[in-house]
Amino acid sequence: MIAFLPPPTGTQTNDPFAMLADSGGPLFILALLVPVAVVVFYLGSRRLAKERGTHALRPRGRVWFDAPRKRSERWRTTVRGLEGRDPSVASKATAGAVRLQGVLCGASENLGGAAGRECVWRNRAGASAASAVASETVFLRDDTGTVAIEDLEQAYVIAPAEKHTFHHENVSLYLGDRVEVYGQFTPEPAPADAGQPTERVYGTLALVDGLDIRLIDRPTPETADDGANEDAPSPEVDTAQP
């Protein structure tokens, strides 16, 4: 920087930019690049902090977009049959393949997120089930009671894709989402002190031939505490993993 300084003269000036003008350009360019470098460093630090903060929510494993769908023709036939009938309710579900609708109300653990809207399942858009991460057990509640959902990591999920990072889009399920679930139901006997019927857990939905979950409605942040958002459009695009 000393080499860039203009030679001393006998005339002093009060102009703070005179030195830059007399330097012939190099010192002016240097003074311009310093704030640019500070801004770039600041933005880079914010991006790095955000990436680290969302690391736990990233699906693990490699993405294979050419992986075949892991839904047998037998299970697809079962789902088509269930679609032709009204959904069951938790309190009257019988053993076997069922179709239930309700709200994801709780989980054994979660992947983080806003209180009451924690993520319970996530995968990269277009990825196979092998890269999904999920809670071990999630609870689905309707007006009659609650059921548990297991094997969620292997579920075939249909929900809109979300921008997660600059390079990745994810498909997720959150507590508070209203969903439709197709799976194999195993009833649980009522305990002696069953209490209120609407507070009972009536059984478990698990993957045997298949486990499908379709998002019906997702409350907006403004209405998350008030229940499902009835004005939100239903997803129309199949963005589930292959």
Count of domains observed in the chain: 2
Contact between residue 209 and residue 184 where contact means Cβ atoms under 8 Å apart: yes
Give SS3 for 124. Answer: strand
Task: Tell me: do 221 and 192 sit in the same domain.
Answer: yes
Residue among 212, 189, 206 at smallest CA distance from 69:
212
Judge whether residue 17 has pLDDT over 50: yes
The parent domain of residue 90 ranges over 59-226
Task: Tell me: do 177 and 157 sit in the same domain.
Answer: yes
Task: Tell me: do 197 and 182 sit in the same domain.
Answer: yes
Residue 239 within a domain:
no
Residue 94, pLDDT score? 94
Task: Tell me: do 140 and 37 sit in the same domain.
Answer: no
Give the tens place of pLDDT for each residue, 45-86: 776 665 555 444 555 544 444 444 567 889 999 999 999 999
Give the tens place of pLDDT for each residue, 116-147: 899 999 998 888 888 899 999 999 999 999 99
Task: Tell me: do 113 and 32 sit in the same domain.
Answer: no
241, burial (CB in 10 Å: exposed 0-12, middle 13-18, buried 19+): buried
Residue 162 within a domain:
yes
Question: Which residues are bridge partners to 104 per DSSP?
Answer: 140
User: Rounded CA gap, 46 and 53, in Å?
Assistant: 11
Q: Which two tokens stand for residue 137?
A: 């057990």
Residue 242 within a domain:
no
User: Rounded CA gap, 79 and 98, in Å?
Assistant: 9
Task: Tell me: do 102 and 180 sit in the same domain.
Answer: yes
Residue 240 within a domain:
no
Domain stop point among 34, 53, 72: 53
Residue 108 within a domain:
yes
Place of tokens 């548990």: 148
Residue 63 within a domain:
yes
User: Rounded CA gap, 178 and 213, in Å?
Assistant: 10
DSSP of 57-104: GSPPS---TTPPP---HHHHHHHHHHHTSPPB-GGG--SEEEEEEEEE
Task: Tell me: do 48 and 67 sit in the same domain.
Answer: no
Radius of gyration of the chain (CA): 28
Q: Which two tokens stand for residue 94?
A: 């019988």
DSSP of 148-214: EE--GGG-EEE--EEE-SSS-EEEEEETT-EEEEEEEEEE-PPPTT---GGG-EEEEEE-SS--EEE
Task: Tell me: do 36 and 64 sit in the same domain.
Answer: no
Task: Tell me: do 202 and 132 sit in the same domain.
Answer: yes
Residue 71, pLDDT score? 76
Domain stop point among 53, 70, 87: 53
Averaged confidence pLDDT in the chain:
78
Residue 235 within a domain:
no
User: Rounded CA gap, 209 and 189, in Å?
Assistant: 23
Give the tens place of pLDDT for each residue, 3-13: 545 555 555 55
Residue 23 within a domain:
yes
Task: Tell me: do 86 and 48 sit in the same domain.
Answer: no
Give SS3 for 48. Answer: helix
Residue 224, pLDDT score? 44
Task: Tell me: do 107 and 22 sit in the same domain.
Answer: no
Task: Tell me: do 147 and 191 sit in the same domain.
Answer: yes
